[in-house]
Amino acid sequence: MKKSRILIVAVFTFGLVAGLTLNNYGDMVISPVAAKSGQDKPKVSPVEPRDRDYYAPNSEKLAPDEMRVIACGTGMPTTRAAQAAACFLVELGNGDKFIFDIGTGSAERISSLQIPYDYLDKIFIGHLHADHFGSLAEMFIGGALMGRQKPLRVWGPSGRTPELGTAYAVQKLKEMYTWDLAGRVGLVDFRGYTVEVNEFDYKAENAVIYEDNGVTIRSFPAIHALDGPVSFSLEWNGLKFVFGSDSYPNKWFAEYAKDADLAVHECFVAAPDLVKKMGFTPESALLVGTQVHTAPEAFGKVMAEIQPRMAVAYHFFKDFDTTAAVNDRIRTTYDGPLSLAEDFMVWNVTKDAIKVRMAVVEEATWAPPLAGAAQPPGGDPDREKYAKEMDVPVESLGYSDFIKEGRWGEVDEVLRGVYKEASEKLGQEFPYPENQD
Ligand SMILES: [Zn+2]
Ligand SMILES: [Zn+2]
C-alpha cells in the first residue's frame, strides 16, 4: 500500500495528539488566506454554518470506500471516568461495523454514538483480561434492551485448556446472568438475548477467522500474561486496520501488521509514572511496564518496523503530566505519523488521506432507533424454550404465591387509571392485566 499524505485537520490538546506528526508544517493543509498573517481576514458569515473540525455522530455519510475508526476505550484496568478500557469501533463504507475489544466502561461510549444495536452485533476479543472484555455483559443484555434483534456474535481465542478460552468465559457469563435473563424472558422481544461464540486457535498465524461481504479478519498470536492473547487485522477494499489487544512486542505483529493503514497497538504508561502515579515498586513497574506490556520506546520500535500510514498508541492514562513522557519516549525510536489515542478520537481512512479528529458526543442519550420492526414479547413459548436451554424449571419463571400475595392493592386504582388514559388517548383498548404472575 502506498504511503499517502496524512491530512491533519485539527491540532488538539497542547498539540499532543495529531500535532505529534507536525514538528513542521509539511503535512498541514493551510488555506492561503489563513497562512498570511496580518492580512485582511476572510469574511465569515454571522448566520451560515461553517465546517466542523470535530465529528458529531450521525451527521456524516460514510463514503463507499471509507473506513471510520472510533476509540471507545483507551485506558487501563484501573477504572476512571475520563477513559474507558480498550475498545475500538471500525465502521466500513459497505455498512459493516466491527468492535475490537469491549473493555470495562466502553459500552457507555458506544451508546453515545447512537448506532442501532443490530449493527453492533460483531465483537472481536483479543484476550480475556477484564479491561478488554469487561463490558461484554452490557453489550449482551443492554444491547438487546436497546434494540438488538439478533444474537450477539463474539470471536475470541482459545487457551491452553478449555477453561482458559473464550467459549468458557462467555458460557459462564451467560450462567452468571441466569436470573437477569430469566426475569426478562416472556416479557420482552427476546431475539437479542442470545450470544454466539466463535472460538479460534490462539496459535493460528495470520489465519482467516472471518470472511464476509468483502471483509477479511485474521488473527495472530500475542505475548501477554498467559498463552491465549491475539492481535487482529481487518482488510477491506484495499484498506488494512490492525488491532493489538495487549502484548509484549512480538514477531507476529512485526510481520503481519505490515502495510497497515491504521495500526493500533498498546503503549503502556512510562515506567517512572507507574511508580509516581500508580504506586508501583520500581521492580514491578519495570516488569509490568516493559515485559508484560509494551513500553513506549518499544512501541516506537514496532511502528518503525511496520511503518503504518498512522500509528495509534493506547493503554495509558493520557493526562497533561503523563502524555509528554509517552510521546518523548516513542519519539526516541519512531518518527512517523502518530496518534496518542484518547476516548472518542476518530480516524477517517481512505486511500488518499487519514483524517484525525475528536468526536463530540451527547452523554444523556436514550436507546438509538431500531434497525428492524419491533416484535411483541414472546410470552410462554419463550419461557419454555429458555427454561429448557438454561435448565431452569419453567414454573420458577414468574412469581410464587408468597410474593404475589405481597402486592399492595392500594395502587390498583391509580394504575388502572394509567391503562384507561392510554386507551382513551390512543383510541385502542388496553386491558388491565388482572392476574399478573
Ligand atoms: Zn491484558
Ligand atoms: Zn489491557
Indicate which ligand has the atom closest to the C-alpha of 266. 2
CA of 247 to the centre of ligand 1 (A): 8
The alpha carbon of 245 and the centre of ligand 2 are apart by a number of angstroms equal to 7
pTM: 0.90
What is the model's pLDDT at position 18? 41
Counting Cα atoms < 13 Å in the Cβ hemisphere of 55 gives: 23
Q: Residues with Cβ within 5 Å of ion ligand 1?
A: 129, 246
Report CA(127)–ligand 2 centroid distance (Å): 9
Check residue 13 and give its pLDDT: 39
Ligand positioned closest to the Cα atom of 131: 2
Task: State the distance from the centre of ligand 2 to the C-alpha of 224, rounded, in angstroms.
Answer: 9
Tell me what pLDDT residue 10 has.
39
The three-state (H, E, C) secondary structure of 233-261, written as one string: EEEECCEEEEEECCCECCHHHHHHCCCCC
Q: Classify 175 as helix, strand or coil.
A: helix
Smallest-distance ligand from the CA of 225: 1
Please tell me the distance between residue 78's alpha carbon and the centre of ligand 2 in angstroms. 10
Task: Return the ∠ at Cα 135 (arms to 132 and 141), rounded to 5°.
Answer: 145
How far apart are the CA of 140 and the centre of ligand 1, in A? 21
How confident is the model at residue 31, as a pLDDT? Answer: 52
For residue 280, report the distance from its CA to the centre of ligand 1, in Å: 17
For residue 423, the CA-to-ligand 2 centroid distance in Å is: 52
Determine the pLDDT at residue 15.
39
Measured in Å, residue 156 CA sits from the centre of ligand 2 at 15
Grid coordinates given for 39: 492580512
C-alpha–C-alpha distance, residues 312 and 18, integer Å: 10
Distance CA 302, CA 305 (A): 5
pLDDT score for 434? 84
Cα 84 to middle of ligand 2, angstroms: 11
Nearest residue to 254 via CA among 201, 307, 202: 307
pLDDT of the residue at 28: 54
CA–centroid distance, 196 to ligand 2, in Å, is 24
pLDDT means per 10 residues, the chain with 437 residues, are: 43 40 51 56 85 94 98 97 98 98 98 98 98 98 97 98 98 97 94 97 98 98 98 98 98 98 98 96 97 98 98 98 97 98 98 98 96 90 93 92 94 97 96 78
CA of 15 to the centre of ligand 1 (A): 29
Q: What ligand has the least distance to the C-alpha of 103?
A: 2
